[in-house]
Amino acid sequence: MSRTPIGMPGLRPGIGNLFAEEKFPSAARRELGNSQLRKNLKHATSTIRAKRLAVTGELPDWEELREAGSALKTSVMARLPELLEAFEANVTARGGTVHWARDADEANAIIHGLVTAQGVDEVVKVKSMATQEIGMNEYLEERGISAFETDLAELIVQLGHDKPSHILVPAIHKNRTEVRDIFLQEMPGVDPGLTDEPRRLAMAARAHLRAKFLTAKVAVSGANFGIADSGTLGVVESEGNGRMCLTLPETLITVMGIEKLLPTFSDLEVFLQLLPRSSTGERMNPYTSLWTGVTEGDGPSNFHVILLDNGRTNALADEMGRSALHCIRCSACINVCPVYERAGGHAYGSTYPGPIGAILSPLMTGIEAEENGSLPYASSLCGACYDACPVKINIPDILVHLRGKDVDAHRGGLPSELDVGLKAASWALSGGRRLAAVEKLLPLGRAAAGRDKKIKKLPGLAAGWTQSRDIPAPPAQSFRDWWAKEHKRP
C-alpha cells in the first residue's frame, strides 16, 4: 500500500488498515449488488437497534451519562501527554513494561520482537480493533508466527480468509449457513455432519479454540480502557475467550490506542454503563476483565503494553475533528447508519467502517491519503449517528468539516463539474435579483419536461439523480414573481 506523507510537520500519519483503496461510491455500488449482504445487514442492524433503544431508554440519566462521557473524554484529550506519562509510570511500578509505537510498523515490530523472545510461533488473540488497524496478523504470518483469533466472529472471518465488516460483529456479512460452510472447509477436525444450528456452530468453535487456549504461551489483546492513575487495563467482552487469553498464557501483550485512557478508576462507572448498552444493547456485558501490571501466581507473569499513536496525534491536532478520538468503539453509529446498512463495512476499506470510520480514517491518515477523501461524503447527513453516539461525537459536523478539507485540498487543479456548478450557484444564490434572473429560465425547464410534465433524463452529474427519480416540470411562475405581481394584501 502506498503511503502519502502529509499533515503538520512533526506529525506522522496513520498507516496500516486505515485506507479506502477504492472511492466509496464505486465500492458501495459493488456491495449493493450483494442482496444476501443487504438482507443480513438489515436484519442484524435493526435487531441491535431495537435492543439498544430499549436499554438506553430505561435509564433516566442516559443523557447525563452521555454528557459525562463526552466531558471526560474532552478532558483526556486536553491532558493526554500528562495522563500517558502517569499511566506509563503506574504500569511500570506494578511490574509491566510500556512500549511506545508511533505507527503500525513500529507496533508490529515491537510485538514481533516480544513474541520471538518467548521462542514461540503461535499466539492467541482477544478481539481487538487496534491489532486489526495495524494488520498484526498478516505481519506475524509473514514472519512465520500464527495469530489465532479466539472471538467467534473474528474466528469466522479469519477461517474464511475474509475481512471484518463491522467493529463489534465482524462477521455480520455472513449468515449461519455461510458460517457452517466455512467451518466445514477450514476448521481442522470438524464434525462433517455439522449443521447451521447456532448452538452446534458455537460448540464446534469452542472445541477448536479450547486446545489453543490451553497450549498458548503468548496472548495479544487490545484494551477498551487504560486507567491513568492506577495503570489498570480493561477489556469487556461477551464470550469469555478474552478472559481465557488474559489469564492463562505466561506472556500478555496489550496494544492500546493512546486515546483509550481514562483519568481515574472511578471514571469506569460512566463508561461501563455507556459501552455495553450502546454496543450489544445489554445492560452489562458478560465478562469485564481488569488487570493491573503483574500479580505473582495469578495470570501472566510477563506483561507488556504498547501505546499506539498511528495517526491519533494527527486527529488530535484537528480542532474540529479531535472529538472523533472520544470513540469507545461501541458501533452504535454504525448500527443506525442508513448508508452502512446498504453498503456494508467492506465499502469503507478501512478497519473502521460506518460514520465513525468515515471521519476517523481520514483524520488519522490525512484527507489526501489513498481514496480516504471520498469517505466523508458517504453520508446523507441524516444525523442518526450523532443521536446514537454515547460520547456525543458530532459526526455530521465533522463530516462536513472534512468535506471542506477535501474540497480545499483539490483547489487549484482542474475544476470538476461540481466545482463549476457550485461556483455558478454561489453567484446566483447570493442575491435576490440574481436568483430572480435565473428563475426567468424556468420556462426552459417546462419545455424540456414534455407532455407528461416530467424530466426523466439529465446529463453529467445530474444523471445520478435521474437514474432513479424524475424531476417535475418547473412552475410557470416563481414565488417571487407571484408575490410581486399577484399577491393581494389581506
Partner 1 sequence: MKIALFATCIVDAMYPRAAQATVAVLERLGHEVVFPQGQACCGQMHVNSGYLKEALPVVANHVRAFESEDYDVAVAPSGSCVASVKHQHPMVARHAGDAALEERADAVGKKTYELSELLVDVLGVTNPAAQLGSYFPHTVTYHPSCHGMRLLTLGDRQAGLLRGVKGLELVDLPEADQCCGFGGTFSVKNADVSSAMLADKTANIRSTGASVCAGGDYSCLMHIGGGLSRQADTIGTLHLAEILASTETEPVAVPGPAGRTVKVVAK
- Per CB under 8 A, contacts with partner 1 among 446-485 are 452-454, 456, 461-462, 464-465, 467-475, 477-480, 482-483
Number of CB atoms found within 10 A of residue 188's CB: 7
Nearer Cβ to partner 1 (2/468) = 468
* 342: Cα separation from own chain's centroid: 16
Q: Beta strand 471-472 with 454-455: parallel, antiparallel or unpaired?
A: antiparallel
- State the nearest-atom distance from the C-beta of 321 to partner 1, in Å: 14
Nearer Cβ to partner 1 (306/343) = 343
Residue 1 is a binding residue for partner 1 (CB under 8 A): no
- State the nearest-atom distance from the C-beta of 379 to partner 1, in Å: 7
Interface with partner 1 in residues 68-97 (CB under 8 A)? none
* 13: Cα separation from own chain's centroid: 17
- State the nearest-atom distance from the C-beta of 405 to partner 1, in Å: 8
Nearer Cβ to partner 1 (89/463) = 463
Interface with partner 1 in residues 328-347 (CB under 8 A)? 338-339, 342-343
What the block records as the C-alpha cell of 128 is 481487538
Residue 431 is a binding residue for partner 1 (CB under 8 A): yes
Site residue total, partner 1 (CB under 8 A): 71
- Through-space distance between the first and last CA atoms of the chain, rounded to whole angstroms: 69
CA atoms of 17 and 163, how far apart (whole Å): 11
Nearest to 229 by CA among 91, 100, 70, 325: 91
Residue 439 is a binding residue for partner 1 (CB under 8 A): yes
Residue 59 is a binding residue for partner 1 (CB under 8 A): no
CA atoms of 33 and 347, how far apart (whole Å): 12
Nearer Cβ to partner 1 (194/428) = 428
Among 8, 207, 420, 429, binds partner 1 (CB under 8 A): 429
Nearer Cβ to partner 1 (299/445) = 445
- State the nearest-atom distance from the C-beta of 4 to partner 1, in Å: 20
- State the nearest-atom distance from the C-beta of 73 to partner 1, in Å: 22
Among 39, 143, 423, 457, binds partner 1 (CB under 8 A): 423
3-class SS letters over the chain: CCCCCCCCCCCCCCCCCCCCCCCHHHHHHHHHCCHHHHHHHHHHHHHHHHHHHHHHHCCCCHHHHHHHHHHHHHHHHHCHHHHHHHHHHHHHHCCCEEEEECCHHHHHHHHHHHHHHCCCCEEEECCCHHHHHHCHHHHHHHCCCEEEECCHHHHHHHHCCCCCCCCCCCCCCCCHHHHHHHHHHHCCCCCCCCCCCHHHHHHHHHHHHHHHHHHCCEEEECCCEEECCCCEEEEEECCCHHHHHHHCCCEEEEEEEHHHEECCHHHHHHHHHHHHHHHCCCCCCCEEEEEECCECCECCCEEEEEEECCCHHHHHCCCCCHHHHHCCCCCHHHHHCHHHHHHCHHHHCCCCCHHHHHHHHHHHHCCCCCCHHHHHHCCCCCCHHHHHCCCCCCHHHHHHHHHHHHHHHCCCCCCCHHHHHHHHHHHHCCCHHHHHHHHCCHHHHHHHHCCCCEECCCCHHHHHHHCCCCEECCCCCCHHHHHHHCCCCC
Site string for partner 1, 161-200 (x = CB under 8 A): ----------------------------------------
- State the nearest-atom distance from the C-beta of 364 to partner 1, in Å: 19
Site string for partner 1, 3-42 (x = CB under 8 A): ---------------------xx--xx--x-----x----
Nearer Cβ to partner 1 (28/328) = 28
Interface with partner 1 in residues 388-407 (CB under 8 A)? 397, 400, 402-407
Interface with partner 1 in residues 351-380 (CB under 8 A)? 376-380
Residue 152 is a binding residue for partner 1 (CB under 8 A): no
- State the nearest-atom distance from the C-beta of 324 to partner 1, in Å: 17
Nearer Cβ to partner 1 (284/400) = 400
- State the nearest-atom distance from the C-beta of 317 to partner 1, in Å: 17
Nearer Cβ to partner 1 (161/487) = 487
- State the nearest-atom distance from the C-beta of 406 to partner 1, in Å: 6
Query: What type of residue sits at position 200?
Result: R
Nearer Cβ to partner 1 (78/418) = 418
- State the nearest-atom distance from the C-beta of 381 to partner 1, in Å: 6
- State the nearest-atom distance from the C-beta of 96 to partner 1, in Å: 44
Residue 386 is a binding residue for partner 1 (CB under 8 A): yes
Nearer Cβ to partner 1 (94/342) = 342
What the block records as the C-alpha cell of 144 is 512465520
Nearer Cβ to partner 1 (28/123) = 28
Nearer Cβ to partner 1 (79/454) = 454
